Amino acid sequence: MIKITGLSKSFGELEVLKDISLDVEKGKVIVVIGPSGSGKTTMLRCLNLLETPSGGTIAISNKSIDFSQRVSKKEVTEFRKLTGMVFQGYNLFPHKTALQNVMEGPVIVKKEDKEKARKKAEQLLAKVGLADKLDFYPYQLSGGQQQRVGIARALAMEPEVMLFDEPTSALDPELVGEVLKVMKDLAREGMTMIVVTHEMKFAREVADEVLFMDGGYIVEKATPEEFFSNPKEDRTKRFLQLLQ
């Protein structure tokens, strides 16, 4: 489903991603962990083309982009539709209701019929447990509810892959569970997901593979059982010790 080959990204002189290669099969959940500044967010943003990679190729589904060549705006727009992104800060439109937030992408970007988009948005908001909050504005919702609207909004674009960038780090502890539950349900339904998170329990329970990043590299990749009980690399061991 996803094939990343030799992906690199620099900001000026600063090389943030160095020769990242990764294959993700359809329906798999990859959890990415690593110290702050290791390049986790940049990798997700490159997959969503919010950042333009400096080199390498990314293939998602049957579309592929080679960043050693010039990439057209049209290619970027088409490619971006393949992934849905959920951010740490929910990034909802403050002056639109939950329903309007979820309808916006399909209607404006995909030019979907409004009625059809409304029905789909209602279904998605019901799916994330917000059937009774359709007409609420973001300020009337808790952080956990806003993030669930964020997930419904990403799903409304019918992406092949969902990318989560620390989706629960801005939440009060008592609200984390409701967002993780929605993510677990999605994983169970077979959505392909890449999740940057500090929630190790989620990684243990839901991930098919855990990636450990440090210094712009993927240092280690393993099943959660293997990763947490028998890490191979010294840098991984040190990182896991700090968590205890």
Q: Does 198 bind ligand ADP (CB under 6 A)?
A: no
Burial class (CB in 10 A: 0-12, 13-18, 19+), 181: middle
CA atoms within 13 A on the CB side of 137: 5
3-state secondary structure of 180: helix
Sign of torsion, CA 107 112 116 121? negative
Q: Does 93 bind ligand ADP (CB under 6 A)?
A: no
Q: Does 235 bind ligand ADP (CB under 6 A)?
A: no
Binding mask 37-76 for ligand ADP (x = CB under 6 A): xxxxxx----------------------------------
Q: Does 34 bind ligand ADP (CB under 6 A)?
A: yes
Binding window for ligand ADP (CB under 6 A); candidates: 32-40, 127-135, 226-234, 235-243? 32-40
Query: Smallest gap, in angstroms, from Cβ of residue 45 to ligand ADP?
Result: 7
The answer to whether 129 and 169 have CB atoms below 8 angstroms apart is no
Query: Smallest gap, in angstroms, from Cβ of residue 14 to ligand ADP?
Result: 6
Binding window for ligand ADP (CB under 6 A); candidates: 35-43, 67-75, 95-103, 180-188? 35-43
Binding window for ligand ADP (CB under 6 A); candidates: 19-27, 30-38, 140-148, 169-177? 30-38
Whole-angstrom Cα Rg for the chain: 18
Query: Smallest gap, in angstroms, from Cβ of residue 123 to ligand ADP?
Result: 32
The answer to whether 213 and 38 have CB atoms below 8 angstroms apart is yes
Q: 88, 158, 98: which is closest to 126 by C-alpha?
A: 98
Q: Does 16 bind ligand ADP (CB under 6 A)?
A: yes
Q: 237, 146, 153, 164: which is closest to 203 by C-alpha?
A: 164
Binding window for ligand ADP (CB under 6 A); candidates: 8-16, 66-74, 92-100, 138-146? 8-16
The answer to whether 227 and 210 have CB atoms below 8 angstroms apart is yes
Q: Which amino acid is at 137?
A: Y
Q: Specify the residue, 5 or 88, whose C-beta has the smaller distance to ligand ADP.
A: 88
Which positions lie near ligand ADP, rule CB under 6 A? 11, 14, 16, 34, 36-42
